[in-house]
Chains A and B, each alone.
Chain A
């Protein structure tokens, strides 16, 4: 127990460095990011989603099989409860992308609580950032195509307000719409996953740290590990919620870009 705890609790308190694991190929190398546990998990998530959807939708039938029903309900959920609810009937056009986004985030988040994996690629800001940039480019593109480039920016920046407030409002609108949005999207997801992993680390490693410090702390160590389990359940909630929030916000940005009036 002591030996194991010294291995696991080598770096207590856990630090940012715990998120940067050594590379798998070439084995054990630091600061080589092409093939790490993180990238492997991303590829695995992609493969799982693709295989699941292709398998369950190979031969679609009017009366769905169980698998087909599951695949359809995932798509139907995003399509009806996010895309159509947020954007309106035009949202059906965006439903495929939003569903892909939702599944990708959900599964990558989910790695964070899978036993023996327990780290989410989304706790590396590169992945949320990519998704946020795509959402950002998409809603600007959609808006520019719908209204025309100049008109879209006029529309987005100029709120219907008396002219003398505009000098104040236009910079605020610009800041909130075109500067903050991608960062808030990316950071929200990243920070949640990062914090979740950090919490699990603190409580797991904390248990070992207490045990190795003094055998009398054993009950606290057990309490700490129990809390790890509870936090894992909480993480599950956060995982689903963050995937949902990211998708809903993307849909809402698209809706804002398509809207005719404020």
Chain B
């Protein structure tokens, strides 16, 4: 360094410069120039950049949020559909069971009714038969009485007239009986 100074001095410069001592004019120029630069960039450029960064972050995060919301909605819908499907399935099974139960019920009903009807018909027939039998028996009873009286009076009336006649009377009675029975 000293040699350099000497060299400079030997060349006959008016006054050797010391590179460590700042030149005050340059300090002024440097300060002003840097101040201008700072003013313009810090005032007009970098706030804009921060704003753009924020807008970008917002846009991206907003997009993610929207996608998440859509996803959640889709999941909810899916869940809902699943629930509805399961509900419909149980409903169908229930209806089927019910129908089966109904059919069984109806079958039982019909059977019972048929059985009842047949019982009723049989009972009615029996009753009718009994009634007819009774009326026949009653008729027979009354008829047998009168017939017996008739026979007895005839026997007593024609008494001992003759054997042949008696015999004829009996035969006549019998044939009367026959005709009466036929009638």
* Shortest Cβ gap from A95 to chain B (Å): 7
B11 in contact (CB, < 8 A): yes
Interface residues of B in 14-65 (CB under 8 A from A): 14-27, 29-31, 33-34, 36-38, 40-42, 44-53, 55-56, 59
B13 in contact (CB, < 8 A): yes
B8 in contact (CB, < 8 A): yes
Q: Is the CB of A49 within 8 A of B14?
A: no
* Number of A residues with CB within 8 Å of any CB on chain B: 49
B7 in contact (CB, < 8 A): yes
Q: Is the CB of A33 within 8 A of B45?
A: no
Given A53-B41, A57-B48, A130:B17 Cβ within 8 A: no
Interface segment out of the listed A1-9, A119-127, A161-169, A210-218:
A119-127
A129 in contact (CB, < 8 A): yes
- Cα A16 to Cα B3 in complex, Å, equals 10
Q: Is the CB of A38 within 8 A of B26?
A: yes
Chain A residue with the shortest CB-CB distance to B19: A16
* Number of B residues with CB within 8 Å of any CB on chain A: 44
* Shortest Cβ gap from A93 to chain B (Å): 10
Q: Is the CB of B41 within 8 A of A99?
A: yes
- Cα A160 to Cα B162 in complex, Å, equals 176
Q: Is the CB of A62 within 8 A of B55?
A: yes
Given A15-B7, A50-B41, A62-B59, A129:B19 Cβ within 8 A: no
B5 in contact (CB, < 8 A): yes
* Shortest Cβ gap from A192 to chain B (Å): 13
| In the complex, chain A residues whose CB is within 8 Å of the CB of B161 | none
Given A38-B26, A60-B48, A127-B26, A17:B40 Cβ within 8 A: no
- Cα A187 to Cα B30 in complex, Å, equals 16
| In the complex, chain A residues whose CB is within 8 Å of the CB of B15 | 31
- Most chain B CB within 10 A, of A64, A103, A104, is at A104
* Shortest Cβ gap from A54 to chain B (Å): 7
Q: Is the CB of B26 within 8 A of A126?
A: yes
A153 in contact (CB, < 8 A): no
B164 in contact (CB, < 8 A): no
Q: State which of B11, B29, B46 has its C-beta within 8 Å of the C-beta of A34.
A: B29
Q: Is the CB of B52 within 8 A of A60?
A: yes
| In the complex, chain A residues whose CB is within 8 Å of the CB of B180 | none
Q: Is the CB of B29 within 8 A of A13?
A: no
CB 8 Å contact bits of A54-91 with B (1 = contact, 0 = none):
10010011101000000110010000000000000000
- Cα A194 to Cα B20 in complex, Å, equals 11
Q: State which of B5, B26, B55 has its C-beta within 8 Å of the C-beta of A33.
A: B26
Q: State which of B20, B30, B38 has its C-beta within 8 Å of the C-beta of A100.
A: B38
Q: Is the CB of B23 within 8 A of A54?
A: no
Q: Is the CB of B56 within 8 A of A62?
A: yes
Interface residues of B in 43-95 (CB under 8 A from A): 44-53, 55-56, 59
Additional A-B contacts beyond A16-B19, A50-B41 (18; CB < 8 A): A15-B8, A15-B11, A16-B17, A17-B16, A31-B14, A33-B26, A42-B29, A53-B40, A53-B45, A54-B40, A62-B56, A96-B47, A97-B38, A99-B41, A99-B46, A100-B38, A125-B19, A127-B30
